[in-house]
Structures are given as C-alpha cells and as structure tokens.
Copies of this chain bind each other. A is one copy, B any other.
Amino acid sequence: MDTDALIEWVLERSVSLASTGEAPPLLAKAIHHAVFPGGARVRPRLCVAVAAACGEADCLPLAAAAGAAIELMHCGSLVHDDLPAFDAAELRRGNPSVHAAFGEPMAILAGDALIVMAFETLVREGARNPLACLQLCRILAEMTGSPRGIVAGQAWESEPVINLTAYHQAKTAALFVAATMSGAASAGADPARWRGLGIRLGEAYQIADDLRDVLLGEDVLGKPAGQDQAHSRPSAVEAFGLEGAFGLFSQSVEAAAAAVPDCAGAPFLRQIVAAQAARLVPKSLMQRVA
C-alpha cells in the first residue's frame, strides 16, 4: 500500500468506527460528507513526506495516522468555518457544505465529533508507541486550540483588534506546523527543528489562497470566490496588490525550501515544496496577471 492509500485507509477506518452500531444516522452521514471526497490531503501528505525524509520506512504507518488525525481536524475546522456564524459558505470542494446539506445543528456536531475523532485516531493507531503517541497528541492540541492553534486563528476574525502575525500563524500555518512536527515525531526525530518549515509553508499557502480567492472562479475553487473581500478578511492581495502578492508568494516558497532541516531526504522534500507551489499557483496564473 502506498502512503496516500495508507492515509485514506486510516481516514476510512476512523469515520467508519464513528458510524457503527447505534450512531445517529444523520450525524454519521454528515461526518462522512465532511471527510470524503477529500481535497488534496496536503497536510497528511506533508506529514508523511517529513517522516520519510528523516526516518526509516517502519515509521510511515504512524506518520500516516498522525497525518490522518491532522486531516480530520482540518475537515472539522472547515465545517465550522463554513457555518452561517462565520463564512456562511454553501459550497465546499464543489459540494454543498455540511450545514447546507445537513442543517446547522448537524454541522456543529459533526465538527465537534471530528475534533474528538482526531485525538481518538492518534490514540488508537499510536497505541504501540505510547511516548511518540503522547507527543503527537501534544503537537495536535497545541496547533488546534488556544492560544496558538486554528481555533485561535479563526477567533481573531471576530476580535475588534486583530494581531495579524498571530492570526496568520494560527489560522493557516498551525496545521502545517502540526504536519511537519508530527512527521518528525513519528520518525523519532526532534519536532522542534521542523517548526520553521511548517511556518514558511503555512505562509506560502495563505498567500496562494489569497491569490486564488481573487483570481479563480467558484468552478475551479470548489467553494465561493471573492470571500476575503466579502468578509473583510486581511489578504495579501488587498495589502500588497496582485504583483506584490505574487512576489511574496515566491519569497515564501524559497524560504520554505531553505527551512528544510539537514536530513537524508532534504533534496526530496525541497522538490515536494516546489511541486506544491506550482500546483497552488501555476505559471499560467502568474502569466495571466503579468
């Protein structure tokens, strides 16, 4: 089984365990809808890539489980972010968002269930390696809750005064940091050395997202376009213009490549960073604007 299939296998298993026996049927459907079909699974694949770059092959199942846990957390946060109280988005990955399909109560509960499921997945799949498992739980909690996780990041959008650095690091970078640090922890390497790469990748991803929100249509995005302006959210495009944002994106991608710590798989990881950058912001997009 390749590692992408391994990630999907863990996700399938976790979602199906939540749907067994006496599970409320609509809740089970809403949870499944939030996780499948998935997006690009960027975070779990990053987690596995880091583990492969600094460890042996036998650490990959744990890295895939850690990546799947991060992906479940990511899916849960999308469900809550799409709610009427936040983005009121009716579309996600080209399908109705969870609250559009199942109603607001089910969307709140499906998001809650996914947060729990993320920790449950780590604890179940990591049982044979208790110390690494607890370290992975700690990383996931730090990058999800308050003060530094994605929940805090989303909260900044409802604060009267916004701390922009804290906002970006928590809202987008946190789960990239979770991915790089968890990959290292799964391989028995020091997670702290991998924090910087996650922050840089998160920055690049955030700027790419701002660019795509302005330049692409709902059909390509699979979600509503023009949302940053509609919700008055801070955006690199708004702050620096299209050309400035492209420049920042290229800088962030270079900084990410430079932030890959020394390890056996560093060249491979730098290739992945470049490939992801090209996927997110294709040359054709840059040329269209130029």
Instruction: Please determine whether B123 and A141 come into contact, CB atoms closer than 8 angstroms.
Output: yes
Measured in the bound complex, the distance between the Cα atoms of B157 and A115 in whole Å is 20
The answer, yes or no, to whether A103 is at the interface (CB within 8 Å) is yes
Q: Which residues of B contact A124 (CB under 8 A)?
A: 138
The answer, yes or no, to whether A19 is at the interface (CB within 8 Å) is yes
A145's contact among B113, B137, B166, B170, by CB below 8 Å, is which? B113
Which of the 9-residue segments A24-32, A39-47, A180-188, A260-268 touches chain B? A24-32
A109's contact among B25, B123, B133, B154, by CB below 8 Å, is which? B154
Instruction: Please determine whether B83 and A147 come into contact, CB atoms closer than 8 angstroms.
Output: no
Q: Known contacts A19-B146, A80-B112: does B27 contact A155 (CB below 8 Å)?
A: yes
**A interface, size bucket:** 35 or more
The answer, yes or no, to whether A108 is at the interface (CB within 8 Å) is yes
The answer, yes or no, to whether A127 is at the interface (CB within 8 Å) is yes
Residue of B nearest to A28 (CB): B146
Q: Known contacts A138-B124, A152-B23: does B158 contact A18 (CB below 8 Å)?
A: no
Produce 1/0 per residue, A79-117, CB < 8 A to B.
010010110000000000000000111101101110111
6 other A-B residue contacts (CB within 8 Å) besides A22-B166, A124-B138: A18-B145, A27-B146, A112-B115, A123-B138, A123-B141, A130-B130
Measured in the bound complex, the distance between the Cα atoms of B105 and A159 in whole Å is 10
Instruction: Please determine whether B113 and A146 come into contact, CB atoms closer than 8 angstroms.
Output: yes
Q: Which residues of B contact A127 (CB under 8 A)?
A: 134
Q: Which residues of B contact A104 (CB under 8 A)?
A: 85
Q: How far is the CB of A270 from chain B (nearest CB, A)?
A: 30
Q: Which residues of B contact A145 (CB under 8 A)?
A: 18, 112-113, 116-117, 120
Q: Which residues of B contact A37 (CB under 8 A)?
A: none
Instruction: Please determine whether A137 and B119 come into contact, CB atoms closer than 8 angstroms.
Output: yes
The answer, yes or no, to whether A284 is at the interface (CB within 8 Å) is no
Instruction: Please determine whether B26 and A147 come into contact, CB atoms closer than 8 angstroms.
Output: no
Q: How far is the CB of A127 from chain B (nearest CB, A)?
A: 7
Q: Which residues of B contact A18 (CB under 8 A)?
A: 145-147
A158's contact among B26, B31, B119, by CB below 8 Å, is which? B26
Q: Which residues of B contact A24 (CB under 8 A)?
A: 146-147, 152, 155-156, 158-159, 163, 166
Q: How far is the CB of A145 from chain B (nearest CB, A)?
A: 4
Measured in the bound complex, the distance between the Cα atoms of B199 and A194 in whole Å is 45
